[in-house]
Structure 1
Amino acid sequence: MTSTLAKQGRRITHIVFIALLLDILSFTIILPLLPRSLEAYKARETHDLTLLSSLLARISSLREYIQAHSASSRFLQQGARADLVLLGGLLGSLYSLLQFIVAPWIGRAADRFGRRPVLLLCMLGNILWTLIWLYARSFELFLGARIIAGLSEGNVQLSNTIIADVTDPATRSRGMALVGIAFAVGFTVGPSIGAYFSQLPLEPSQPRSIFTYAPFAAAALFSLVLLLAETLFLYVRLPETLDFKRHSSEPSPAGDSGTEDAATDSLASAQPSAQNNCKQQRQLLQRLNLLHFTYLFFFSGMEYTLTFLTHDQFSFSNGQQGRLLGFIGILSTLLQGMWVRRRRGKSAHTDKDMVVKGMLACSAGLLCIAYCTAMSPGSTLLLWMGAVGFAVASATVVNCLNSMVSLINDVETGKRLGDFRSAGQIGRSMGPLFACSVYWLLGSRTCYFVGSVAVFVISLLFIAFVPASTATISRIPTKKSQ
């Protein structure tokens, strides 16, 4: 890239970072409010023939079956409160399942119509679901809003795609590290903002009107303001980047027949290996997608049960829970900015090295937590060591994998990253169900030990079957690109 295009790429990367930070703050505001929102909707109901009542009845029957046939945790012994938390988890899984369905379509649409219009369309969907949330008088409306949210959240994958458009292999990883920083900051600050705004009253003047507010509507209103600001910011500042790299190559001088002949000869010599090269790309992408799915299947499951563990085994208060999660988020942010971004891009092998270190740290952290559950309730040193493992994994694995996928080829980036995100999202949707089942049926120690061994095996498979640098598997040049 020329210096002018490189400078423009850095500017666009910073625009994407700011917008994504606003988006993740808006997304995470609702996370601590899900169980209490469901409780508020339950309290508003005047009869038992509603969707919410039916779902809670089925979850209650499942809980009672588990308690009757196994030694359940103290969490399940909380009865109706546990049912609400479990339903909140199911809503989270539904969101990830919808992302699994829609992510490939968003990626393909971005390749065909451009990054900017698809991103702005996703923003309209985000605004719509938040507006419905603000006035959701019933659980049915709230559920419809969450479905719209799952189908329209394409900001993360499109942010990765745009950064891949405006960076070269040497700067790709550093740019994508900003996505990880936005995630870490958003997931650290956003839930606290949601908890704060949930305490602010927002009552309608006419409770029976069509504009009756939802529970915790002040949080929804603040989330809507963030999304409106993000949409306006993107509309004004973000250019289209689909053809950005076409301008990074200097055209050959007109009439330079020697250059044209050389390009033709190069193209002819490349044709016999084109088929093998494409086959290598497909195989590598399949491996990365499968590894992404299996890693997030176990990681998201262990992450989901962590708050259950601290409540069940260590009787953590809400404040202690917040400090533990905040520690993970802040440490992940510091690692992204002070370690990952400085290391990445220094060699072609850095991304793979970072992924391996993150997976091994995750495995070691889960092993610490597994042994922590066998110690006295007052001993939490190994728990905090496990939190360090979570932070290292959060700072490295997924973002470096995104970088490796984007470097495989410089065409159809949206499609590849969309398929990659889809594989991860189906893992996120299934992982919590698996982890909770193991946790409640076999105990917390077995749950985290299984997770530790599984992530360690995944890291070995990653080392064995993924090349040191995916940038070496590039597309065969075409005559047009010459």
Structure 2
Amino acid sequence: MKKESTALILIFLTVFIDLLGFGLLIPILPAFGLKVLNIDEASIGIVISAYSFIQFIFNPIFGRISDKRGRRPVIIFCLLLNAVGYLLFSITNSFLLLLLSRIIAGIGGSSISVAQAYIADVTTPENRSKGMGIIGSAFGLGFVFGPLLGGILSEFGYAVVGYVSAGFSFLAFVLTSFLLPESLKIKVQPELQPQRKRKLIDVESFKHVFRKPDLALLISLFFVLTFSFANIYGTFALLGIQVYHFTDRQNGYMFGIIGLTSAIVQGTLIGTINRFLTKKNIFIVSSFLISLNLALIPYAGNFLGLAVVGFFLSIGTGLFQPTILSLISEVTSEQEQGMTLGINQSMSAFGRMLGPLWGGFAFEYLGYQFPFLTGAFFTAVIFLVSLFYLPRKLNWNEK
């Protein structure tokens, strides 16, 4: 148990420090593109989408490599790539160089699925939801403190933000290199994974995973959730400014409330909740909370109302994400954890690419309510599937 706890603490620190570096760039990338590079909004959108698209390609590739070569070397390599990408951002003076820096950082950011596989390696099925919650907690805390720090550092110059981001990734690289043990028990090559030629998009891996109905359903649900929530990535701040007339500081507080609540739920409460609720009930409750509160966002009325809505929305996402990751891991063989979680993370990246594109279009051309109502509609579908279909499909009434 002590060895497991030490490994979980180390992987938490690794992901948190790395995500802190990523979070530093969130508030300043659009301003940097407009003010320094003089590029238009469409080009900025391409830069942001490129990061998620690259993760869509590389998540399953790194997942498969980690199944064969181990988790530790992949995580170390990706952290070093992240540092290089951030350093390149600091010296960027053109659109193409900015795009290249985000592509390199996107490849480096494709290690999250490997970190999830690491959690699956070192936890028992009973503790897996709690373990997966550690990744979500690291994400949440990185997105709370990163943007706040990035906004402060930008006053000293955009290059400083890049250098500090690179420094955080390099610190995570050093910690991992010296302290993180390998989690994968090397076994004979699984029979279901014949040797294949390397391809940019590993179509065979996708086919292999989606041939399994239970995995296909769970990964599809995770994709729908990610797409639904990604609708608000760019539009939530716009809503605060244009509809609720928030200041930048109030918007920052709102992001802090959402990120911190999600981090607390995933990092500390999910283990306790699992002792009182079955996974079936967690699915039902969390998808209902997400759907309801996404729908309420444009009608919350004021800062206090939106803070309450954001609080309950974060409880829903904080419960749902580690639970579905735990289920995906549980229905996957030990030899295919990296590949399967890589496919799942790849689909999640695809959702994070499509969500902001639709959300921005809907906000501008259909009305400010529509990105949030779109997310509410699709998560309502997840709620209905969880209530009536999923228990029979996965035989999880006893889980």
TM-score normalized by structure 1? Answer: 0.73
* Shift of residue 326, structure 1, vs aligned partner: 0.9
* Shift of residue 380, structure 1, vs aligned partner: 4.3
Cα contact 2:266–2:322 (8 A) shared by 1: no
Match of 2:361 in 1: 437
What does 1:51-450 correspond to in 2, within 5 Å?
52=39, 56=40, 83=41, 87-201=43-157, 216-243=158-185, 282-344=212-274, 346=275, 350-372=278-300, 379-408=302-331, 409-450=333-374
- Partner Cα distance (1:330, 1:294) in 2: 23
Cα contact 1:104–1:422 (8 A) shared by 2: yes
Match of 1:70 in 2: none
| 2:5 is equivalent to residue 27 of structure 1 | no
Match of 1:65 in 2: none
1:241 is aligned with what amino acid?
S
SS of corresponding position for 2:289: helix
* Shift of residue 366, structure 1, vs aligned partner: 1.7
* Shift of residue 471, structure 1, vs aligned partner: 9.9
**Could you say if the C-alpha distance between residues 355 and 244 of structure 1 is closer, same or farther in structure 2, counting changes exceeding 3 Å?**
farther
| 2:18 is equivalent to residue 15 of structure 1 | no
Larger Rg: 1
* Shift of residue 27, structure 1, vs aligned partner: 0.8
- Partner Cα distance (1:135, 1:38) in 2: 13
- Partner Cα distance (1:167, 1:227) in 2: 26
The CA deviation string for residues 391-436 of structure 1, in whole angstroms up to 9 with x for no partner, is 1133122222111111113221001100111111111110111122
SS of corresponding position for 1:13: helix
**Could you say if the C-alpha distance between residues 229 and 459 of structure 1 is closer, same or farther in structure 2, counting changes exceeding 3 Å?**
same
| 2:387 is equivalent to residue 463 of structure 1 | yes
- Partner Cα distance (1:338, 1:131) in 2: 34
1:319 is aligned with what amino acid?
R
2:256 is aligned with what amino acid?
G
- Partner Cα distance (2:141, 2:385) in 1: 31
- Partner Cα distance (1:172, 1:424) in 2: 20
Unpaired segments ≥5 residues, structure 1:
1-5, 44-51, 57-82, 202-215, 247-277, 473-482
- Partner Cα distance (2:29, 2:66) in 1: 32
SS of corresponding position for 1:171: helix
- Partner Cα distance (1:450, 1:136) in 2: 36
2:15 is aligned with what amino acid?
L
SS of corresponding position for 1:32: coil
TM-score normalized by structure 2? Answer: 0.87
- Partner Cα distance (2:273, 2:55) in 1: 31
Cα contact 1:352–1:468 (8 A) shared by 2: no
1:9 is aligned with what amino acid?
E
The CA deviation string for residues 290-348 of structure 1, in whole angstroms up to 9 with x for no partner, is 1111221111103431111111112211111111111111222232344223223x37x
**Could you say if the C-alpha distance between residues 200 and 403 of structure 1 is closer, same or farther in structure 2, counting changes exceeding 3 Å?**
same
Cα contact 2:219–2:328 (8 A) shared by 1: no
Match of 1:49 in 2: none
SS of corresponding position for 2:125: coil
- Partner Cα distance (1:436, 1:425) in 2: 17
The CA deviation string for residues 357-393 of structure 1, in whole angstroms up to 9 with x for no partner, is 2221111112222434xx6xxx444423321233113
Identity across aligned pairs (percent)? 28
**Could you say if the C-alpha distance between residues 245 and 416 of structure 1 is closer, same or farther in structure 2, counting changes exceeding 3 Å?**
same
The CA deviation string for residues 4-35 of structure 1, in whole angstroms up to 9 with x for no partner, is xx321221111101111101101110000111
* Shift of residue 98, structure 1, vs aligned partner: 1.2
- Partner Cα distance (1:88, 1:433) in 2: 12
1:312 is aligned with what amino acid?
Q
Match of 2:200 in 1: none
Cα contact 1:31–1:191 (8 A) shared by 2: yes
2:364 is aligned with what amino acid?
W
SS of corresponding position for 1:302: coil
Match of 1:40 in 2: 35
- Partner Cα distance (2:138, 2:249) in 1: 23
* Shift of residue 231, structure 1, vs aligned partner: 0.7
